[in-house]
Structures are given as structure tokens and as C-alpha cells.
A = this chain, B = another copy of it.
Amino acid sequence: MNSDFTLAVHSLTLLATLPDRMSSSDAIAASASVHPVRIRKVLSLLRKHGFIESKEGTGGGFIFSSNPKVVTLREIYQLTSEGTLQPKCPQVNDSCVVGSNLENVLYSIFTDGEEHLGQFLGQYSIEDVVNSVKQKQ
């Protein structure tokens, strides 16, 4: 799966542990070991979907604006990675029965599969992740 998912979960997990103050993209980027601009892209997506709030200017940054108990990995997956489960099919060769129809067959199977995976990921909230991380510490 793409790393946007990991970066989003990382950011939310970090913000969930710091609910009282703004965290800057530089700090989050350092924690995740990636470039600040990259993390800002992910944070921007999370903001547009209401998971976090941002504030520009001195003392600004990002803060969790929803409930870590309610936000699940499913929603993060949908936001950052929906469709990545679908197997890549090279350009279709219509002169072959298999070539011209397999794509649709697999698409339909993996659409169901992604739904199953979604239900599985829905079991884990950001709070669960925070607790697991703290426990491992």
C-alpha cells in the first residue's frame, strides 16, 4: 500500500497524543522522517476531510479536530489508498476472450475484497493505535 496511508496514520496518531497544542508540519515531518512539504500534502487532505484543523502564521500548525475514538483506519484507507488493492491490468487485448473480460471479473472481485478489508480496518480507531504504540513503548 502507498505510504500516504502510513503518513496519515502517523500524523493523526501524533496529533492525538498532543491534543492541547498545535504541532507544526516540520515537527510531524521530523517524526515521520519525511520532507515537510510531503507531510503537508497529507495533512492538507486530512484537513479537507475534517479530521484535523490547521492554522497559519506564527504559533500555527495542526491539531486534531475530531474524536480519535471514532476515526478508524478504514476512513484513512479510503482517503489515501482506496483502489490500490485493485490489481493492475495491462492494456486490454480485445482479440482474446480472457484479455477482454478478465479485467472486469477481477475488478468486481477486488471491489468486494476492498469492502471486506475496509470492514476489517474499521475495527481499529486512532485511539487504539495510540494505545498500542504506547504499550509497545
Contacts and interface: CB of A to CB of B under 8 A. Distances in A.
Interface stretch (A43-51, A63-71, A113-121): A113-121
Provide the main secondary structure of the chain A interface. Answer: helix
Contacts of A58: none
Nearest to A12: B98
Contact of A133 (B91, B101, B134): B101
| Band of interface residues on A | 35 or more
B116 A1 contact: no
Interface in A72-96: 73, 84-93, 96
Nearest to A81: B87
Copies in the complex: 2
Contacts of A105: 129, 132-133, 136
Contact of A10 (B14, B32, B102): B102
A17 B98 contact: yes
A91 B121 contact: no
Contacts of A86: 1
A9 interface: yes
A133 B98 contact: yes
Given A98-B133, A120-B116, A137-B97, A88 B33 contact: no
Interface string A1-41: 11101110110011001000000000000111110000000
